[in-house]
């Protein structure tokens, strides 16, 4: 810096050592100061992460499309078409209510699901009916038709990772599946005498496996006493 200034000593007045020190300090401060800020953030940190946003949007779109397909298969009793969507290693769980019973809920692998659809006389105990305490015992096709009852739902009202139905029953979906995404189908109820207490919901839960998303659970929910 001193040599550069001295090379022009004919045009620049003599500069004291004190002034040189001040000038050097200012240059150092300028070099270390972050770039211009916007809304309190530096310019380098204010660039939106478009790649991450695009990835999240793509995931949401894919899962919603799968959920729509699965709801359509269930609603039209095309249960076999559900098999490729079932998680290859974890299978699919069926929960009667919002509280997932990890020890007693029925979980089927792809192979078991396909087998018990065909062997439709084999009955399972799916859980206990709220309010009456009776065991719910029936075949897999009848459970899908009578309890899951997907035909009552409309995809237009489906939500991604957002609960719509809520009752006094505990909802532990996020605790059991902390890394999963879900699509909730909601039916607000039709009978005015029940003042909306006859609502029902169906939650399709998905987890990623080798770059694709698969169904790991179908969780039903409704008003409980």
DSSP string, the chain: -HHHHHTTTTTS----HHHHHHHHHHHHHHHHSPPPEETTEETTT-S--HHHHHHHHHHHHHHHHHHHHHHHHHHTT-GGGGGGGBBTTTBEEEESSSS--TTTSEEE-HHHHHHHHHSTT-EEEEEE-TTT--EEEEEHHHIIIIII-GGG--GGG-EES------SS---HHHH-TT-EEEEEEE--S-GGGTTTT-EEEEEEEEEETTEEEEEEEEEEE---
pLDDT confidence of residue 4? 42
| Phi, psi (degrees; rounded to nearest 5) at 206 | -125, 145
Most confident of 30-34, 146-150, 186-190, 198-202: 146-150
Q: Mean pLDDT over residues 174-191, rounded?
A: 92
**φ/ψ of residue 28, rounded to 5:** -65, -40
Asked if the model's pLDDT at residue 9 lies above 70, the reply is no
Sign for the pseudo-dihedral over CA of 36, 39, 40, 44: negative
Domains of the chain: 2-42 (no CATH), 51-222 (3.10.450)
If one counts every other C-beta atom within 10 angstroms of the C-beta of residue 126, the result is 20
In the predicted structure, residue 182 carries a pLDDT above the cut 70: yes
**pLDDT per residue over 35-54, tens digit each?**
333 343 444 445 456 777 88
Mean pLDDT for all residues in the chain? 82
Non-local (6+) Cβ contacts of 40 within 8 A are: none
User: Is 50 exceeded by the pLDDT of residue 32?
Assistant: no
Query: Cβ of 66: how many Cβ atoms within 10 Å?
Result: 18
Enter the tokens of residue 141.
């096709």
Beta-sheet pairing, 106-108 with 41-42: unpaired
Residue 132 CB burial class (10 angstroms; 0-12, 13-18, ≥19): exposed
Task: List pLDDT tens digits, range 99-146.
Answer: 999 999 999 999 999 999 998 899 999 999 987 889 999 999 999 999
Q: Which residue has the higher pLDDT, 5 or 201?
A: 201
Question: Of 148, 59, 48, nearest to 106 (Cα)?
Answer: 148
């Amino acid at each position: 810096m001193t040599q550069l200034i001295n090379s022009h000593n004919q045009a620049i007045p003599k500069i004291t050592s004190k002034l040189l020190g001040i000038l050097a300090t200012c240059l150092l401060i300028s070099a270390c100061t972050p770039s211009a800020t916007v809304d309190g953030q530096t310019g380098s940190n204010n660039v939106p992460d478009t790649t991450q946003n695009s990835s999240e949007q793509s995931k949401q779109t894919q899962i919603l499309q799968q959920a729509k397909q699965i709801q359509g298969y269930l609603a039209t009793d095309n249960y076999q078409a559900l098999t490729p969507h079932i998680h290859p290693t974890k299978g699919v769980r069926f929960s009667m209510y919002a509280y997932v019973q990890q020890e007693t809920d029925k979980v089927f692998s792809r192979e078991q699901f396909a087998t018990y659809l065909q062997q439709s006389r084999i009955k399972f105990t799916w859980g206990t009916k709220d309010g009456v305490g009776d065991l719910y015992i029936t075949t897999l096709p009848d459970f899908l038709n009578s309890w899951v009852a997907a035909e009552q739902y409309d995809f237009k009202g489906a939500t991604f990772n957002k609960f719509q139905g809520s009752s006094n029953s505990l909802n532990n979906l996020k605790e059991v599946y902390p890394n999963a995404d879900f699509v909730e189908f909601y039916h607000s109820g039709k009978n005015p005498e029940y003042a909306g207490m006859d609502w029902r919901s169906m939650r399709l839960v998905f987890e990623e496996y080798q770059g694709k998303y698969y169904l790991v659970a179908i969780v039903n929910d409704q008003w409980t006493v």
